[in-house]
Amino acid sequence: MTPAGFPSAQAAETAFYAAFENADYVAMAAVWSPDDDIECIHPLGERLMGPKAVGNSWRRMFSGGKRMKFRLAHTKCFQTEQLAIHILYENITIAGKQQPPLIATNIYRFNGHGWHMILHHASPATDIGKTDDMENTVTTGPVVH
């Protein structure tokens, strides 16, 4: 863990997905707040609460040896001085094969020095009609209907 934290929520998010792609447990642990109140919900998984349960889940996942490539899309941000909420699509490729899209709500907290992740809530999304749309709008930010 890194008590100092990241200079911005966006920097923490970039580090989160880099650690995820690299299956780097130490880098992943540094993204998360060391506080007891963190939570992590992997797709269709249970609520993992606290650094021990959250850390173990990443260690298990990374020891599985599957390397994932992420393409993130439609990131929506809500930001205040102390909290930042990012909602986005995760489009994951494993061994060149595109997986069904996931939706993630990622939350970051400022501890007075820097930013850490305090929540990752990921879940499967309906994929009907989504892939083409996301292909074209990956960098356009939030879509408002």
Contact positions toward its own copies, by CB under 8 A?
36-37, 39, 41, 43-50, 52-53, 74, 76, 78, 80-83, 85, 87, 89, 103, 105, 107, 109, 118-119, 121, 123-126, 128, 130, 142-145
Helix-, strand-, coil-residue percentages of the chain, each rounded to 5: 30, 35, 35
Is the CB of 52 or the CB of 67 nearer to its own copies? 52
Other CB atoms within 10 Å distance of the CB of residue 45: 11
Is the CB of 31 or the CB of 73 nearer to its own copies? 73
Strand 83-94 and strand 102-110: pairing? antiparallel
Residue 104 Cβ vs its own copies, minimum distance, rounded to whole Å: 9
Is the CB of 21 or the CB of 133 nearer to its own copies? 133
For residue 3, what are its two tokens? 């008590």
Collapse the DSSP code of 132 into the 3-class scheme (helix H, G, I; strand E, B; otherwise coil) and give the result: helix
CA 138 to chain CA centroid, nearest Å: 16
Is the CB of 20 or the CB of 108 nearer to its own copies? 108
Residue 124 Cβ vs its own copies, minimum distance, rounded to whole Å: 6
